[in-house]
Amino acid sequence: MSIEGATTTFDNFPKYPGAEKYFCKTCGTTVHWINPVASPGMHMIAPGCFEDPNFLGPQMVFQTKYRPEWCPEFKSVTQSFEGFVSDEGT
């Protein structure tokens, strides 16, 4: 796996102070993000960033209530949340 290229940050989330999203500066794809209010202590990485198709799958999924029908459920998931972790009181 290689990591290269510059990112740019978006951090204007009034409901979630301290949240930051990092995007590819060239194409605008979300790369990773933090949200200390909704998901304290976690650093989320977009699964499409891994070039190895056999890389470990996600262990947690958030906002499943918004999952489109065409998006399959991940078999590797051990925890699933309809909203954010903080919205569910955990």
Mean pLDDT of the chain: 79
Give me 25's structure tokens. 């500066």
pLDDT digits (tens, 9 = 90+) for 72-81: 787 778 777 7
Contact 86, 38 (CB under 8 A): yes
Q: Average the pLDDT over 18-32 and give the result.
A: 88
State yes or no: pLDDT of 55 exceeds 80: no
What pLDDT score was predicted for residue 87?
Answer: 55
CA distance 35 to 49: 19
What pLDDT score was predicted for residue 5?
Answer: 74
Instruction: Domain ranges for the chain, please list them.
Output: 7-88
CA distance 50 to 85: 24
CA distance 16 to 43: 15
Question: Residue 33: is it exposed, middle or buried by C-beta count within 10 angstroms (0-12/13-18/19+)?
Answer: buried
State yes or no: pLDDT of 90 exceeds 50: no
Residue 85 pLDDT grade (very low, low, confident, very high; cuts 50, 70, 90): low
CA distance 70 to 67: 8
